[in-house]
Amino acid sequence: MSNQKKPVRTGARRPASAALRAQALRAKERRTLRRRAAAVACCIVPLAGIGVLGKLLADRSADDPSVVRAASGPVKVPAGAAPKDPTTLTYGSARAKNTLGVYEDPRCPMCGILERSVGKEARRLADQGIVKVDYHFAVFIDRAAGGTGSRFAVNALGAAADRDMTCFQRLHEELFAHQPEETDDGFGNAGHLLDLAARVHGLRSPSFDAAVRDLRYLPWAESVGKEFQRSGPDGTPQMELNGKRLDVFNDRGDPLTPSELARLVRERGA
């Protein structure tokens, strides 16, 4: 009988570190993005194509009397709208030398991926006075996939912007952090929007709640969507720095990162 000792195994599995888990989650999100890039047509095809798709898919809100009535009411412009363009919401100092234009639809999943990647960095740059951020909203997914979620979300964002732009930013972050699947019209539920608004300190109030439920800013949201179709880019998401388009996704489908956004502002900004 041999007295040779058995080798000791040193490769036993250990629990993954937080960094490794975060890396795995990012890799999973990138794989999801690549799958969606082929499937989510209404986020990446020209808006002219959306018009065709919209004719094939019914808009479930078209015959809702309360929505039709609210949409046809007077346009109330939120206090946070840009002075020269009432369809744009501006976060940051008007004295900032650089303007970061953000074009998005609240229901667009690729917009959600981009926002979760660089949204906080954009706000940090604005808080430091390096940029001001102009938000331009599209609502075309409502008409392409059916429902009211894009318009109702923009209505809620308008109500938050009328209170103050910090509340707008926090609600904007919550909406994209809890974004439903594109075909799920979750934002079309005012109660759900109010639940998300409750996560924003100081936002909920009788006036804000009534604006969300009564669709006070829906006529404004409709005008925002029309302006996007008239003069906005061919699809969402999109970012521009001082009017020049940024590449928000690379060839592998990875979104722009916070450090890349900061570098682009340093290199290309005023």
Neighbour-count burial of 68, counting CB atoms closer than 10 A to its CB (0-12 exposed, 13-18 middle, 19+ buried)? exposed
Residues 6 or more apart whose CB falls under 8 angstroms from that of 231 comprise none
In angstroms, the CA 143 to CA 23 distance is 36
In angstroms, the CA 229 to CA 58 distance is 19
Q: What is the pLDDT of residue 115?
A: 97
Confidence of residue 174 (pLDDT cuts 50, 70, 90): very high
Cα–chain-centroid distance for residue 256? 14
Angle in degrees, CA 89, 167, 105, rounded to 5:
45
Each residue of 140-168: pLDDT tens digit?
Answer: 999 889 999 999 999 999 999 999 999 99
Question: What is the model's pTM?
Answer: 0.79
Helix (H) or strand (E) holding 66: helix 65-71
| Rounded mean pLDDT, 2-18 | 45
Q: What is the CA radius of gyration of the chain?
A: 22
| Cross-strand partners of 131 | 98
Q: Which two tokens stand for residue 31?
A: 């794989």
Helix H, strand E, coil C: the string for 222-264 is HHHHHHHHHHCCCCCCEEEECCEEECCECCCCCECCHHHHHHH
Which is it for the CA torsion 42, 44, 49, 51, positive or negative? positive
Q: What percent of the chain has pLDDT over 90?
A: 69
Answer yes or no: is pLDDT of 3 > 90.
no
Each residue of 67-95: pLDDT tens digit?
Answer: 888 888 999 999 999 989 999 999 999 99
Query: Among the listed ranges 20-34, 145-159, 204-218, which one has the minimum average pLDDT value?
Result: 20-34
Answer yes or no: is pLDDT of 44 > 90.
no
Q: What is the pLDDT of residue 39?
A: 39
